[in-house]
Structure 1
Amino acid sequence: MDQKELAALHAEAEAELKKIPGVVGVGYGLKEIGGKTTDQISFRVYVKEKRKPEDLNPADIIPKEYKGIPTDVLVAPDITPVHCQDMDHHSPLTGGISISGFRTDSNNLYDNGTLGFFATLDGVSGPENVVLVSNNHVLTFGGASVGDTVYQPKFVEASGQISIVLDQEQRHPIGKINNAGTDGIHSYSYPSEAAADFFVDAATAKLDICISSWCNTNCGVSYKNEIRGLNIVGNSKLEDVTRVGQSDLGGNDYVVYKVGRRTSKTKGKVIDIGDPLGIGRLITIEATEADCEGILRFVEKGDSGSALVNAQNKLVGLVFAKSNSNPAIAYACHIHPVIDFLSITPITTANPPVGPAGQTLNDVEGVFTGINHTTEVRERFLSTRKGAEIYQQILDHRQEVIALVNHRRPVTVAWHRSQGPTFLAHFVNNARDPLHLIPFEVEGITRDQMIRRMAEILIQHGSEALQQVIWSYFDEVMGFINSFDNLHEFVKQFEAMPGSDGLSDHSTLIEETVDVK
């Protein structure tokens, strides 16, 4: 039978066999004998508990086959979601690394998961369309919701114990949750097949990418289509997206891999693509090789959200859980229902991002490529009351300042003669790398001279609202504009001020508002 016929037969068997009391779900995969997986295809019938035939009514006995295909009666697995952390910061970001919301559980323990892969939001223009994909139970842990920050944390080991680094400066914010997703059933129909219920545990967070036209580079986080250490015959990229269908099972093993924080790269085979838990169809994987610690398992806590990849480097699923009774067994969501629910297009070799979404620090020659601290310093600044107030002023006047600098000649001339582009470049580079200090003078022009001249010219040509903002902040800015050479140290002092009511350096305001050619 072809795929269409097999899918129809599976749906029929699922509907019929689930009528039998005690049947939780019906899968299609490899038969088990004596606890070991064989190569024989079967309908895997999952029950709450196994009972002897003599203890059942004849009508409640599961048949030994269904329309010529053997059945295999199995106890519905007991599972645990898997989540933990990676040890290091990464730049550019890749799949297979740790993410965290820095929230705690009832035991005051920080919970973390794995970044699966990157995608673009359907119908959204770049660079505001690039997201990371992981599990819903990873991104929403501890009550996190849309708009909350996602971090790529660092961990340290001491006396054999691994702990997360809580220092605010080491958290490495990389984006914000934009779709909390779901942890439940999603009805999906493959082409020419009837709709079926699939289990989806998935969510997205929008990456903090900021393409600046003045330097045509990414001032935010960078990413690339790669999974850390995947290395399938030398290839760590996602080449495309495909499904695991009924016609793919039987004969040779359907080999799959995943890379997660806790167990890194593991190898296994698909043994079922049905519904063993009564919660919707999913992919059941059995480990075929020991992991890096010598244990035969496919996942452990910390690996939730990992991309499930086949031997051709194609994305087939999203890992979300492990079996409590058998460490070799793990579970993943089918990828197409995930894509459909989230309205995304995975970034792969076959579907690369275009335009601004494709620009990353890693791709631009001569640009700082280490850990980018811009997002971190901005998050710290915005965590204060005064910082949030100033940021709102930025949003209110950003477009007007950009238009004046780019299109009003007196403003453009003043900006360049005051060494505005060069000062701005130093501020941006310092935001990225704290070791790059900001000079107090450029080509004979001091910072306070640049600020004074730009304030004067913007007051002359700007709106009444912009004039009022400049006058309200000017004196305080001039009082400390030459008091620091590092934004990170300045923000640290700002955070320590009583009530966090200190005023942000107006150069930071300029850095955020002026986006000049």
Structure 2
Amino acid sequence: MPTRDEWQAEQERLLALYPEARETLGRIPGVVEVGVGLRHRAGALVEEAAFVVFVEAKRPRSEVAPDEMIPATFRGIPVDVEPRRPDIPLLGFGDERDRKNYKTKVGGTAIGSEGSRGTGTLGCFCSINNSTAIALLSCHHVLFDGDAEEGSGVGQPAYDSSCCCTCNEIAKVTTGNKNIDCAYATLKDKVAFFPKVKRIKRGDGTVEDEGLISGTATAVINQAVHKVGYKTGLTRGIVSMVLPRVEVDVAAGFARFCDRGDSGSVVIDTASRNVVALLRAMPDDDGKKGLAVPIATVEAVLKIKVLASDPTATYTERRLDEDEDEELFPLPPASPFQALVERLRGSEAGRDVLALFDRHRDECLAIVNARRTFTVAWHRHHGPAWLAALGRSARDPIYEVPTAIDDVTRAEAVTAIDAALTSEASAALQGDLDAMRDALAPALIAARTVDEALALLEASGSRT
């Protein structure tokens, strides 16, 4: 299984050849667009980088004229042929889900412009170059929908007005680019906001995703990402294309990646929490694929900069219809697992480990919760206690993880838990475990702290 760095290197190799590939393949009759992404077979993603050629319609080879034949490879790189599909803007029409009015505004929530006929998503907040003002980012077709224009009000969850008053207005539409489909509205003075995306909670009240943003980065093929949109909330996916646009295929466990109403959501790299793209459309009504604009393009065109969250802050999110004195969503104390995850995000090797978990997230959770072989090994070898010790080390670099817990050595625990996990794993997960074992197992056994374990992983040169 290639590492993130290897995918990045492969992507850069294809990008270097892309101008030539676009010119050569684009001359073939029937070709309408050439891109860089992952290959599809039988409708499923394959972990193989390719030049993706879009045609008006796929036909059997027997019906294709010789001058219209598309080669199987270009410069040794596979060529994948896909039919072109019209983009479906993801503007909602008032029958969707989260229409809460948030007292302190956050990304991932519903917005609508004055004169608009639909509803979209507030992606995130940005600084405006050469200005002290703050902007909210969304799509052009969201902020400029219907009769909306520069100077129109923007409301959260919607813009409401009557003959005597205006309600919920938080910003004024400022500028945008219709071709790229991005726009921003300038936040009104004294409108409270958090530079983050809406917190997502599980049914039991625990936090699934805090919604923090670290910054921005370039999307990489096969990257695990997620978004929070007004219509479908939190969904996860895999970056399947980076040129001529960013495309995201839905991850296993989710019925769809996006739907109408999600336009304007920001696509976030799950491992690093960097924003990589702005979601703007889907090619099919099933919502299994999202189309997005690279965030670097958005920032350059609009002359803005995405605001990062403060990792030391405690963010609370309260709706206007709730008790003023109640902090509805206080940030809970970090669990050992949360503390460990945050520490892993701080290193390249740690982010690779998180990326592997994201690829197999649903399967890992199913094994932990429902597979007796693993559950017995996990508890018999004090898995929760080891996790707590690693979490404490992540919070307190001076603390040393014990070499044994109740006569179970660290080496015994790592070996037994690894064997139990492998015995329950799918072929894909087993492959990833095999690739990481020689680097990760010795690091877990030998290191006294989480920092030491990450340093050993980096030094091994064998990344997950």
Which TM-score band applies after superposition, normalised by the shorter structure?
A: 0.5 to 0.7
Read off the aligned partner of 1:315 and give its amino acid letter: V
Helix, strand or coil at the partner of 1:308: strand
Classify 1:310/1:81 alpha carbon distance in 2 versus 1 (closer, same or farther; 3 Å): same
- Determine whether 1:205 maps to 2:185: yes
Read off the aligned partner of 1:115 and give its amino acid letter: L
- 1:9 pairs with one of 10, 14, 17: 17
Structure number, greater radius of gyration: 1
Compute the displacement of 1:16 (Å): 1.3
Q: Is the 8 A contact 1:266 1:289 kept in 2?
A: no
Question: Using the alignment, how far apart are the partners of 1:118 and 1:242 within structure 2?
Answer: 16
Compute the displacement of 1:43 (Å): 1.2
- 1:64 pairs with one of 72, 95, 102: 72
Following superposition of structure 1 onto structure 2, how do residues 411-430 of structure 1 map, counting pairs within 5 Å?
A: none
Q: Is the 8 A contact 1:24 1:47 kept in 2?
A: yes
Compute the displacement of 1:74 (Å): 0.7
Aligned to 2:112: 100
Classify 1:78/1:222 alpha carbon distance in 2 versus 1 (closer, same or farther; 3 Å): same
- Determine whether 1:239 maps to 2:214: yes
TM-score, length-scaled by structure 2: 0.60
Question: Using the alignment, how far apart are the partners of 1:113 and 1:4 within structure 2?
Answer: 34
Aligned to 1:288: 251
Helix, strand or coil at the partner of 1:13: helix
Q: Is the 8 A contact 1:46 1:73 kept in 2?
A: yes
- 1:308 pairs with one of 267, 274, 277: 267
Compute the displacement of 1:237 (Å): 1.1
Q: Is the 8 A contact 2:200 2:210 kept in 1?
A: yes
Aligned to 2:141: 137
Aligned to 1:149: 153
Tell me the C-alpha RMSD between the 2 structures.
2.9
Following superposition of structure 1 onto structure 2, how do residues 107-506 of structure 1 map, counting pairs within 5 Å?
A: 110-124=117-131, 126=132, 129-153=133-157, 171-179=167-175, 181-184=176-179, 200-209=180-189, 220-229=190-199, 234-244=209-219, 248-249=220-221, 253-274=222-243, 281-291=244-254, 296-311=255-270, 312-324=272-284, 326-349=286-309
Count of aligned pairs between the two proteins = 300
Question: Using the alignment, how far apart are the partners of 1:102 and 1:290 within structure 2?
Answer: 37
Q: Note the residue ranges of structure 2 that are not aligned, 5 or more in a row.
A: 1-8, 202-206, 319-323, 327-464
Q: Percent identity?
A: 28
Aligned to 1:381: none
More deviation, 18-27/95-104? 95-104
Q: Is the 8 A contact 1:100 1:153 kept in 2?
A: yes
Helix, strand or coil at the partner of 2:67: helix
Compute the displacement of 1:228 (Å): 0.7
With a CA cutoff of 8 Å and minimum separation of 6, indicate the structure with the bigger relative contact order.
1
Q: Deviations over 1:384-404 (max 9, x none)?
A: xxxxxxxxxxxxxxxxxxxxx
Classify 1:15/1:255 alpha carbon distance in 2 versus 1 (closer, same or farther; 3 Å): same
Question: Using the alignment, how far apart are the partners of 1:25 and 1:32 within structure 2?
Answer: 16
Q: Deviations over 1:141-174 (max 9, x none)?
A: 11211111001136xxxxxxxxx97778683100
Aligned to 2:30: 22
Read off the aligned partner of 1:236 and give its amino acid letter: G
Question: Using the alignment, how far apart are the partners of 1:91 and 1:61 within structure 2?
Answer: 58
Classify 1:132/1:64 alpha carbon distance in 2 versus 1 (closer, same or farther; 3 Å): same
Compute the displacement of 1:100 (Å): 0.7
Question: Using the alignment, how far apart are the partners of 2:44 and 2:16 within structure 1?
Answer: 28
